[in-house]
Amino acid sequence: MSPLIVEIMWNRGLTDVEEMDKFLSPLLRHMANPAEIPGLTQAVETLAEGLAEGRTLAVWGDYDVDGITATAVIKEFFVMHDTEIMHHLPNRMEEGYGMNVPGVERLHEQGATMLLTVDCGISDMEPVARARELGMTVIVSDHHLPGDGLPDAHAICDPRLEDGGPCDDLAGVGVAFMLMVALNKLLPGDPVDVRPLLDLVALGTIADIVKLTGQNRILVKNGLLLIKEAKRPGMAALKVVSDYERGAELGAGQIGFNLAPRINAAGRMGDPTKALNLLLADDFDTAMPIAEELNAINMERRRQEQEISDQAFEQAESMRHMAGLVLYGEDWHPGIIGIVASRVVEKFYRPTLILCSPEASEGLLKGSGRSIAEFNLYEGLKAVSGVLVGFGGHKQAAGMSLEAENLTALREQFNQHVIDTLGPEPLTPTLKLDHELGFSNINNTLLQELELLQPFGMGNPEPVFATQLITVAEHRTFGREREHVKLVLQDKETGAKFPGKAWRMGGSLPKEIQGRTMRFAFTPKIDRFRGIPKIDLRIRDWLY
């Protein structure tokens, strides 16, 4: 490896050769023992005992990509063991997040006598209690933060039950996979090869925006190899409708921005079972019509997202004096407000809660929140929990519900808590630079080495470099609304030139910069557009 790559790894906390080697070659043999996840051993033993007793298993998932892929992992694992199991994915519009009593009762009526939750359950006290009343064995597997109390399940498996373990950052699908890895050894017959499930694990992990370090890095890196092969018919169809070749090699960013939203759209706009059917389809001819339907649903989701975003931006603009934003639209779609909250945070850089009034919420306002790096949203909601009916989530993303008359109180209390935590002056986003990089050092060898640092995401951001003083040789805008900028940058000393693109920066990089000498923050990329690889720079920021 070049000294630059080693320095980048060192600055990211990898301070010996063995750590660096595991990072560059995250092999499955480096995975932690599943038993290191708190409660997993008891959960697996309870599952195995119930199956041995002849109990009928149902898995209860969630309507997002993490929950759908986790459900797919469990169902496919049991198919590998020649067993069909039941499942339930809640309809977001009618049931909301997590478990609910009527759904538990329906599963019991259909014959389920054992219930396994994935990506939910840690805060579902009443539905778990009802399942036990009905005589069901209940195993909760989740990755969300537990509240003050735990549900009365027979077993609870959640990395967040304790701090500091190697599996702390697993997504719900990662926990589900580790559960099946351990169960594989306890079921009758020979263990099956669970590696074909890793494409599902990678898809769900990337979509849930958890840290792509440690165990997640191993799971995603190996899962990306399977997504490239696309032997799973549903994955192949998903790539095709996302405008990729079936055998295209995709990075985490491409999956997060293109594949995952089409799976997510099913749960956000209606029935998540369509996405589950796609992932479990037996052949391409079955998968393709489902993928096309999800693609159409996603297009409608994007249209509504833009409409709601415009209204949310207008509200946020009127609240620029506030440190924490609480926005409300009565008719906003509950499946879309989380995405819009992310866009508001990106534009205004403030912790943001967005609320709406779904018809199925029985008079309650439902909301989704997103945060900035400096503010723990889960702790923030805990601080204002007196005006909430319920809440749950992570440091950066959460959901909540409240009585309509408490909206003003929430707005005031949330804003005050953000001020108390971060200070009265709004923060500005920062961009961490990895190194200065001269144009003479940018070549294919360096870019191939940078590729080894993939997958990029939270906890392992794409490296960003600074130029020396360079000249803007050419400037032009492109895109439907001329919102993007294409530059040609020239090194004054060597004369070396590279093209660069500044996405969505047409309004802030004017034509007048052509001919000027500036410094840029950038990420070098291999652009394979039209099949001809060439070096291109992604412009991130600049200094005059």
Are residues 348 and 384 located together in one domain of the fold? yes
Are residues 47 and 181 located together in one domain of the fold? yes
Q: In angstroms, rounded to a whole number, what is the distance separating the alpha carbons of residues 169 and 165?
A: 9
Do 118 and 67 touch, CB atoms closer than 8 A?
yes
pLDDT class for 530, splitting at 50, 70, 90?
low
* Alpha-helical segments (H) within 270-396: 273-279, 284-317, 337-348, 377-383
Per residue, the 3-state secondary structure of 7-64, as one string, reads HHHHHCCCCCHHHHHHHHCCCHHHCCCHHHCCCHHHHHHHHHHHHHCCCCEEEECCCC
Segment 141-169, tens digit of pLDDT: 999 989 889 999 999 999 999 988 999 99
**Number of domains the chain contains:** 3
Q: In Å, what is the CA distance from 245 to each residue of 207, 235, 294, 535?
A: 21, 11, 18, 21
pLDDT class for 97, splitting at 50, 70, 90?
confident
Segment 369-408, tens digit of pLDDT: 999 999 999 999 999 999 999 888 888 889 999 999 999 9
Domain boundary among 194, 229, 251: 194
Which pLDDT score is estimated for 178?
98
- Joined together, the tokens standing for residue 484 give 């993007």
**Residue 50 belongs to a domain with what CATH number?**
3.90.1640.30
Are residues 413 and 506 located together in one domain of the fold? no
Query: Mean pLDDT in the chain?
Result: 94
Which pLDDT score is estimated for 361?
67
Which pLDDT score is estimated for 335?
86
In this prediction, residues 41-57 reach a mean pLDDT of 97
Range of the domain at 504: 435-543
Segment 227-276, tens digit of pLDDT: 999 999 999 999 999 999 999 999 999 999 999 999 999 988 878 999 99
Do 117 and 154 touch, CB atoms closer than 8 A?
no
Are residues 497 and 521 located together in one domain of the fold? yes
Q: In angstroms, rounded to a whole number, what is the distance separating the alpha carbons of residues 142 and 254?
A: 26
Which pLDDT score is estimated for 472?
96
* Prediction pTM value: 0.90
- Joined together, the tokens standing for residue 284 give 């391409």
Are residues 451 and 339 located together in one domain of the fold? no
| Contacts of 422 by beta carbon, 8 Å cutoff, 6+ apart | 323, 374, 375
Are residues 187 and 43 located together in one domain of the fold? yes
Which pLDDT score is estimated for 393?
80
In this prediction, residues 449-459 reach a mean pLDDT of 92
Do 215 and 32 touch, CB atoms closer than 8 A?
yes
Are residues 537 and 472 located together in one domain of the fold? yes
pLDDT beyond 70 at 360 = no
* 300 occurs within a structural domain: no
Domain boundary among 135, 166, 194: 194
pLDDT beyond 80 at 433 = yes
pLDDT beyond 70 at 30 = yes
**Residue 446 belongs to a domain with what CATH number?**
2.40.50.140
Are residues 410 and 441 located together in one domain of the fold? no
Are residues 387 and 344 located together in one domain of the fold? yes
512 bridge partner residues: none
Residue that has been written with the tokens 């090194």 in this structure: 491
